[in-house]
Amino acid sequence: MILFDKIAVLGAGLLGSSLAWALKSRGLCKETYIWSRSQSTRDNCKGKPWADRVCDTLEEAVQNADLIAICSTASSIPIIAKEAAKYAKKSALITDVGSTKLNISDICLEIFKNGNFVPSHPMAGSEKSGADFADKDLFKNAACFVCPTSNKDATEKIAAMWREIGMDVHFVSPKEHDRIAAEISHIPQCVASTLANFASKDFSSYKTFAGNGFRDTTRIAKSDVQMWKSILKENAANISNGLDEIIGMLETLSRAVKIGDEKFIEEFLKNAKKTRSELDK
């Protein structure tokens, strides 16, 4: 089933390249046009099975596209959207894959006044980055947030696209999205990076002893730095509030450990185990 004749993917990182491949491999589009600001990235995309044409300019990629997917860092999405609006045809649908939504939605819905911009956030990814790690099944069985707009047809078509590549779509407001994303994605990233930084001072002398526990809890610390720098900037209030809460929890745990409060420690560990076990059901 073809949903779009021509799609333009603006930003050929892991999510952008994987989206192009997911749509193309499932016959959901006829042509994929790829653009990235980086010449080296564009060169790397040439010859890839998911890139029918790699464009040197955003204008070339966007013209006559039925779907424009902006797959850059969160802070750059409104900038690219403003440029894309100059060349997009009136009927084009536009979405993004940004990990924050409130600021992106406010700006982009003003740029595309017809409601054809539908904010999205596929909760899929990897600590790996770049087009070399494109995966046509990256989105399969993962959750995707879609923020409804006044254009119901556009909203449903974007939602249908995500469903067709295997995602479980949830409709939320941009504000609610940013609160949820902070708790289940952005703050865990901060914690993983903190643990890696905590270990870094003596890591060269004992890294050979690090087992799966350390590897699992710090895996996402290997994620793209510029992407996460952008996310922390865009969702600063929610992330800061969450980190303050975690700091308070750690201070309470620290006091319990110091005085040997076994009852508190046991309840703390039992509650954490129960919460984590919910993911395995």
Task: Supply the CATH number for residue 133's domain.
Answer: 3.40.50.720
46-68 mean pLDDT = 95
Lowest mean pLDDT of 16-30, 90-104, 190-204, 239-253, name the range.
190-204
Q: 138 and 69, same structural domain?
A: yes
In whole angstroms, what is the distance from residue 154 CA to residue 265 CA?
Answer: 50
Report the CATH number at residue 253.
1.10.3660.10
In whole angstroms, what is the distance from residue 173 CA to residue 97 CA?
Answer: 15
Q: 44 and 133, same structural domain?
A: yes
- Report pLDDT for 153: 96
- Report pLDDT for 115: 85
Q: 84 and 54, same structural domain?
A: yes
Q: pLDDT tens for residues 192-248? A: 999 999 988 887 777 888 889 999 999 999 998 998 999 999 999 999 999 999 999
Q: Tell me which residue of 233, 271, 240 sits closest to 103, measured CA to CA.
A: 233
Map 112-143 to HEC letters.
Answer: CCCCCEECEEECCCCCCCCHHHCCCCCCCCCE
Which of 128, 146, 172 delimits the end of a domain? 172
Q: 95 and 182, same structural domain?
A: no
Q: Tell me which residue of 75, 87, 134, 141 sits closest to 112, measured CA to CA.
A: 87
DSSP class of residue 109 equals H
What are the residues whose beta carbons fall under 8 Å from the beta carbon of 264, sequence distance 6 or more?
252, 253, 256
Sign of the Cα torsion 47, 50, 52, 55 reads: negative
14-36 mean pLDDT = 96
User: What is the domain range of residue 198?
Assistant: 176-280
Q: 262 and 160, same structural domain?
A: no
What are the residues whose beta carbons fall under 8 Å from the beta carbon of 23, sequence distance 6 or more?
3, 4, 7, 29, 32, 161, 165
128-141 mean pLDDT = 88
In whole angstroms, what is the distance from residue 171 CA to residue 207 CA?
Answer: 43
| pTM, to two decimals | 0.89
Element housing 33 (H / E): strand 29-35
Which two tokens mark 215?
């590897």
